[in-house]
Amino acid sequence: MTKSKELSKASVARLQLLLELLEQCEREQRQQITSSEIGEALGISAVNVRQDLFRLGSAGRPRVGYDVSHLIDLLRRLFDLNRPKRACIVGFGNLGRALAGSRIWDKAGYQLVAAFDKDSSVVGMELDSIRVRNISEIFGVIRAESIEMAMITVPASAAQEVANMVTAAGVKAIWNFAPVKLQVPTNVVVENQSLAWGLVALSHRTKQVGD
């Protein structure tokens, strides 16, 4: 159910780069930033920056620029990073474990509350405060814990079945690492994560330096 105000993928990517830039400014205790500075850092025109920020609801002041912490606040609200959303991991292999132990959850406004696997040698494992449960419990746990997002890190062959289970239990968002296009109800959002993304960018940038 795409709404007209939904941002394009390209805009979301650009605004995430902007948020990273602003957080960097905040760490350096800078309070203001101009559209030209933003444009130069991100490689887009100052005019496009002003359009983006105007749509976001912020007008800069001539020769002073934009208030860094105000922009951060607008972007965090746009991305819904302040409300802690309850999440689970399905598939506790290497990738599931690596992500369970990472700091990404807080950063993106999620709280990891459960993990599932079908492998009996993994079920019962504990990582931080999460204990891995048998996948047969998934429906009940998602309901009882009001989990709204499932990260899927199972093999491609099992991913659709997992998607069916979690959406039947009420999950509204899936972060999918399996290389397969999932079929889900229209009110469920799927974000397919490609890890090759950063690697392709690196390849491109290395070539530029070498040329």
Rg (alpha carbons) of the chain, rounded to whole number: 20
CA–CA distance, 167 with 73 (Å, rounded to integer): 31
Residue 3 found at the interface with its own copies (CB under 8 A): yes
Residue 63 found at the interface with its own copies (CB under 8 A): no
Sign of the four-CA dihedral 197, 201, 204, 210 = negative
One character per residue 98-127, x = contact with its own copies (rule: CB under 8 A): xx-xxxxx-xxxx-----------------
The helix (H) or strand (E) run that includes residue 173 is strand 173-176
Structure-token match 């290389």, residue found: 179
At 138, the amino acid letter reads I
Q: Which is nearer to its own copies, 54 or 197 (CB)?
A: 197
Residue 144 found at the interface with its own copies (CB under 8 A): no
Helices (H), 88-144: 94-100, 104-107, 138-144
Q: In angstroms, give the least distance from the CB of 76 to its own copies.
A: 10
Q: In angstroms, give the least distance from the CB of 71 to its own copies.
A: 15
Tokens at residue 203, please? 């390849």
Span from 65-73, 138-146, 162-170, 201-209 in contact with its own copies (CB under 8 A): 201-209
14 to 43, contacts with its own copies by CB under 8 A? Answer: 14, 16-17, 19-20, 42-43
Residue 44 found at the interface with its own copies (CB under 8 A): yes
Q: How far is CA 211 from CA 6, 49, 176, 208, in A?
A: 39, 30, 36, 5
Residues 13, 98, 87, 140: what is their CA dihedral angle, to the nearest 10 degrees?
150
Tokens at residue 156, please? 């491609």
Span from 54-62, 96-104, 117-125, 136-144 in contact with its own copies (CB under 8 A): 96-104
Applying CB under 8 A, the residues found at the interface with its own copies are: 1, 3, 5-14, 16-17, 19-20, 42-44, 78-81, 85, 93-95, 97-99, 101-105, 107-110, 148-149, 172-173, 175, 179, 187, 189, 191-211
